[in-house]
Amino acid sequence: MISQLSPFGFLRIAACSPELRVADVEFNSAQIAAQIHEASARGVQLAVFPELCLTAYTCGDLFYQRSLQDRALRQISVIAQACREARVAAVVGLPVAVAGRLFNAACLIGADGKVVGLVPKTYLPNTNEFYEARWFTRGDHAKTDSVELPEGQVPFGCHLLFAAEDWPHLVLGLEICEDLWAIIPPSSYLAAAGASVIANPSASNEVLGKKDYREDLVRQQSARCLAAYAYASAGPGESSTDLVYSGHCLIAENGAILAQSERFSFQSTMTIADVDLDKLAHERNRNSSFAQVTAGSEFRRISFTIAARSDDKLLREVDPRPFVPQDPSRRHEHCEEIFNIQATGLAKRLIHTRAKSLVLGLSGGLDSTLAALVASRACKISGLGNSAVVAVCMPGPGTTSRTKTNAEMLASALGFNRRDIPIHQAVAGHLRDIGHPEGLHDLVFENSQARERTQILMNVAQQTGGFVLGTGDLSETALGWCTYNGDHMSMYHVNSSVPKTLVRHLVEWCADTLFTGETASILRDICATPISPELLPASKGGEILQQTEQILGPYELHDFFLYHSVRHGFTKEKIARLAAAAFASSYQPHEISACLETFFRRFYSQQFKRSCMPDGPKVGSVALSPRGDWRMPSDAVPPA
């Protein structure tokens, strides 16, 4: 069965630490072969085993024995047979004698059982507990580019890249243990030459603090290389004469640890994760620094076979709220950082313009509340004082008593200069002037209110010697859920790159950390109020009838679509597949599909509004400013 996930670029990797015995090559080979078959049963396509795993890393002077070397070479055919039967590509470590020199090498075997190539270790640790230079020669000192195995001549050397057949984004590079610890690891050059996946067979002993350092190295190198990184280390079966090995295995992708093993198990362990090759390819395409780096020397590209996925289960977490950290402490730090960025950006604009006032429309909704809170902090930073903030409350035909009361109370609690300017008569007069039928609550009716409010704010700002602060958010900008030259326009837009799913958390964070008593209670009630532009009349009971998420669909879905389409460039089909995994317990596939269609239709058709959006600070990795992150023609056609 061909997996539905294969076309989306997901590769399943296993970092394995088999049970082993020192110098018992046949036992070790059997354990490796067994793990290859287990990996196949779990849908693995590439399995990475530890450094010198066929012999064990801690053989010492036994490495000199020709019999040990020959036995290890003969077991390659056993591993190759297992790979062929299981349809799993594998990387295994062994000592290899070439032209009178002994090398610590990693061997790649394809899913067809073909021995593809051997890569020797470049950097040999030879201090403290390590004595590798006693036995082995540096890989870059090799005098030949091939080695004779029972299977025939096989490519050999440090400058080998392995390109998977029928997988355009899968290019595998190999480095071994200490190579990662070098000032410039070989994987840096491998990535610059095109490697998207780095496999590291390792034998890293444990001392206090080394586990965290090792984890940081793997994570950071995967980020620098914009690559997936599979690290497989030898376990407790290694000799404990002077050292202990834990079998620490990790799989990372572009700065994130996807999976890692429990340590110190005498049993074979297998750490599995699905890495996203399409995501990595997109990151590299958009990263100008990556494009400017050169590999430094020529690399030989050798093709190898990788099998298709045999199951549809995705072995990686798909965060349903990518803009909002799940961990409460990290979310707290996230909110504090964003709030400080917003406030600092606004304070700079206040200082630069020498504004005497700051004008915003305060509706009692989430977005204008966050803007008001940022304004309060910015005025404190700039020395202007909260009394310089003119909070204009402009109730209209759809304003409810709940939002109106919250707006008025918040303005008073923050010490703002509040002005109440109802817009009923002005809007009614305008609609009469243009011949709009009375009682027709269409887009003209709605937009006339938004533009009337913007006109008031602009004129009050001029009247008071200040400028207008925008009160929308990133999600509304993406969907074009704003009135052109109405609430779409301001002189500075502090929420311009804050998505709706994060706005509520920022307001809650302010309620929890910056305020107490009545002010905190007001903020929490605002967070509990349904999202609405309040441009249509309320119910007879005064309740909000026009709820945005009932019209557009849930913002958590739209923000998910926004993140993965803009940040990662994913196709509509891949986003739908990821959303189905992320929201399996919340939405049916047809609901996700309908909302996705709405997102792409609106995102493409509303670019003209984003092309002239006001200045505002970027706070995260996704932003839509036409001057910075996002340049898109207004007449582009959305994907079918």
Residue 214 φ then ψ, to 5°:
-60, -45
Total Cβ atoms within 10 A of residue 353: 14
Among the listed residues 16, 53, 83, 177, the single catalytic one is: 177
Residues 462 and 468: their CA atoms lie apart, in Å, by 9
Residues 185 and 194: their CA atoms lie apart, in Å, by 15
H-type helices in 48-185, by residue range?
66-86
Q: Which amino acid is at 605?
A: S
Q: Is 609 a catalytic residue?
A: no
Say how many CA atoms lie within 13 Å of 331 toward its Cβ. 20
Among the listed residues 19, 59, 114, 121, the single catalytic one is: 121
Q: Is 51 a catalytic residue?
A: yes
CA distances from residue 93 to 162, 177, 214, 484, 638 in whole angstroms, order as listed: 16, 11, 20, 63, 49
Residues 519 and 515: their CA atoms lie apart, in Å, by 6
Are 223 and 280 contacting, i.e. CB atoms less than 8 angstroms apart?
A: no
Residues 513 and 523: their CA atoms lie apart, in Å, by 12
Residues 534 and 364: their CA atoms lie apart, in Å, by 11
Q: Which among 554, 56, 12, 625 is positioned nearest to 273, based on CA atoms?
A: 12
Among the listed residues 19, 51, 283, 476, the single catalytic one is: 51
Sorted by sequence, the CB contacts under 8 Å of residue 345 that are 6+ apart come out as 492, 494, 616, 617
**What is residue 179's DSSP assignment?**
G
Residues 126 and 120: their CA atoms lie apart, in Å, by 16
Q: Is 121 a catalytic residue?
A: yes
Please give the positions annotated as active site: 51, 121, 177
